[in-house]
Amino acid sequence: MPAPRSLSRRSLSRLALVALLPAAAALSACASLSEEECLAANWRVIGFEDGVAGRGLDYIAQHREACAEVGVVPDLERWRIGREQGLLEYCTPDNAYRIGRRGGRINAVCPGRLEAAMRRPFDIGRQYYDIGREIDGLERDVRDAERRLAELAAPKNDAEAREARRLRREVRRLEDRIDDLERERRRYARWP
């Protein structure tokens, strides 16, 4: 068996480069802006989009980092003006309801008076979401009970017959609870 060859520094450098390429690609995929976006940046529009997304003031640091590689420095003042305009769309009761309804959370970026107006619609949307999750869990329980019932379709003894009866009662109870929750959930299906 031949002795293993040692790798030259040049070969090791190439191997390290090949090993790092996927990591570099993954990091660039996480960048807030692409090279092209940095070079053609309209910082007011980028700020507006960040505001609509509810991003905080510290998010400019991600743009700064992404664009540094191509020598572009964000225009902080234009970005800030755009972001403030975008926040006027983010910080609305309708948006708060949508965020709650999909199970999200409101970012702490809204001025006090706007944030206060968002609380109730967010809570209503969140109630809709939470009830939906509870319904999903109960529906899983129904499927599990029905699966066990199918296994007991022809009970072999009294214990299995009792278990089948118990499971049928459990399915009815779960379905009644689902019906109640669906009625309750309809109350939260719209804002306002």
Q: What is the mean pLDDT of the chain?
A: 88
79-89 pLDDT tens trace: 999 999 999 99
Task: Name the E strands within the chain.
Answer: none
In 3-state terms, what secondary structure has residue 80?
Answer: helix
Which uninterrupted H or E stretch holds 162? Answer: helix 158-186
Q: How confident is residue 30, by pLDDT bands cut at 50, 70 and 90?
A: low
Residue 31 DSSP one-character state: -
Domain ranges of the chain: 29-90, 94-192
Cα–Cα dist 191/99, whole Å: 12
The distance from CA 140 to its chain's CA centroid, rounded to whole angstroms, is 22
Name the least confident of 27-36, 44-53, 97-106, 121-130. Answer: 27-36
Q: How far apart are CA 87 and CA 93, in angstroms?
A: 12
Q: What is the pTM of this model?
A: 0.76
